[in-house]
Amino acid sequence: MAQRFSVPEQGEASSNLPGQPLRPRGSNDSLEMFDGDGMMPTAGESSPEPDHSYAQRAQASLFAYATNSASSSAPNMSLLCDEDDEVQYFEEASLASDAFPKFEEIRRLGKLCDVTLVVDDHRFSAHRVVLAATVPYFRAMFTSAMVEVQQNEINMHGIEPDTLEQLVNFAYSGKVRITISNVQSLMVGASFLQLENIVQACCQYLQSRLQGSNVLAVRQFASALGCLSLVRAADQFLQKHFVAISRTDDFFALPLEDVIAIISRDELHVSSEEQVFEAAMRWIRHDAAERKGRAADLLACIRLPLLKPQYITDCVASNEIVRGCLRCRDLVDEAKDYHLMPERRALLQTFRTKPRCCNDIPGIVYAVGGLTNDGNSSR
């Protein structure tokens, strides 16, 4: 059976010495019993005393100890020697990692929330301090003189409700789910809230899924958001697979300026300039009525002098679109002159006479050597 212990009232001196356990009181004292499940009335009592929590009882005991120590005539005793001035620090290693899950639990219960984010008819409650600590956009908002500092509700524009919910959850958990269906909206929302790590994670997600059918769309999207690493990755993929991509609907839908930028690159992976000429003609024929008037602008970016003479005569010069444009015919004549007058090629050098190069293809190193007349090796 559990023993009964008295809890001194405030101001009542305890007969127990400091540091010793509380002694059981006599039979004439008021009785309380703690059996691990709460306070229980003792036999003989007509009604239970009001229940006190463990924290309240502990606080009362500490108060009694302090009161007894202060009123005692005995000299104060120091637990350690005066000469002992060593400092020791205690660190709760899991405090930070445990805190945010608790914050999230409190938010889910709707407790202590002091701001509501509103998108259309969706509302998301949160804690300003958590948002400010984890989201740069909100840190700037809540720590400056912006009007939102005094508002309990903040209207969010330019971000989808589902995306905002994901990013608010991220502020508490540090995790976000990226899928093919949400990656674009997530990138837009993360960029808006200045969550650069999420933006980069989305870039890596898209980069690992680049295909001929989506590379142009991904490049355009990345360029609009200023994600230069993804733009560069898309450019490298496009250059490597140019011939196949030039047959896709996305390529045919490109504006003239983008096509010119692509076919002007030195790094295009093509076996010959014929593939570039044919890609340009396919783009023009996709909407000939609107585009054939810009044929000369495209032909000026193609390295016609590097085509075989027979191809120039049979395929380029005889092309209906080329024959109908004076500037196109002049470019064909330039290519013919390059082949007909090899002695003048030094004077005919332009960027159109420069072969394309593929910077990301491993190079080949040639080692040339032999023996001199006296039999010594040379390099």
Q: Where are the domains of the chain?
A: 1-71, 272-379
DSSP 93: T
Residue 198: which residues within 8 A CB-CB, separation 6 or more?
167, 170, 176, 186, 187, 190
- Least-confidence region, from 173-177, 321-325, 354-358: 354-358
Q: Is the pLDDT of residue 3 over 50?
A: no
62-89 burial: b if 16+ Cβ within 10 Å, else e:
ebbbebbeeeeeeeeeeeeeeeeeeeee
Helical ranges in 34-92 per DSSP H: 54-71
According to the model, what pLDDT value does residue 28 have? 46
Distance of CA 379 to the CA centre of its chain: 53
Q: Is the pLDDT of residue 229 over 50?
A: yes
According to the model, what pLDDT value does residue 106 have? 93
Q: In this predicted model, which residue has the larger pLDDT, 118 or 340? A: 118
Q: Is the pLDDT of residue 4 over 90?
A: no
What is the spatial distance between Cα 186 and Cα 198, in angstroms, rounded to a whole number?
Answer: 8
What is the spatial distance between Cα 331 and Cα 353, in angstroms, rounded to a whole number?
Answer: 12
Residue 299: which residues within 8 A CB-CB, separation 6 or more?
277, 280, 322, 327, 328, 331
DSSP 29: S
Closest-CA residue to 245 (of 226, 272, 221, 269): 269
Mean pLDDT to the nearest integer, 151-164: 93
- Indicate the pLDDT class of residue 369, thresholds 50, 70 and 90: low
Mean pLDDT to the nearest integer, 258-266: 96
Q: In this predicted model, which residue has the larger pLDDT, 53 or 113? A: 113
Q: Is the pLDDT of residue 342 over 90?
A: no
Q: Domain 272-379 falls in which CATH fold?
A: 1.25.40
According to the model, what pLDDT value does residue 23 have? 47
Q: pLDDT (tens digit, 9 = 90+) per residue, 326-336? A: 999 999 999 99
According to the model, what pLDDT value does residue 22 have? 44
- Least-confidence region, from 115-124, 146-155, 253-262, 274-283: 146-155
- Least-confidence region, from 20-34, 48-62, 204-218, 250-264: 20-34
Q: Is the pLDDT of residue 136 over 90?
A: yes
Residue with tokens 């390099």: 379
Q: pLDDT (tens digit, 9 = 90+) per residue, 9-51? A: 544 444 444 444 444 444 444 444 444 444 444 444 444 555 5
Contact status, residue 250 vs residue 217, Cβ threshold 8 Å:
yes
According to the model, what pLDDT value does residue 39 have? 44
Tell me the average pLDDT of the chain: 82
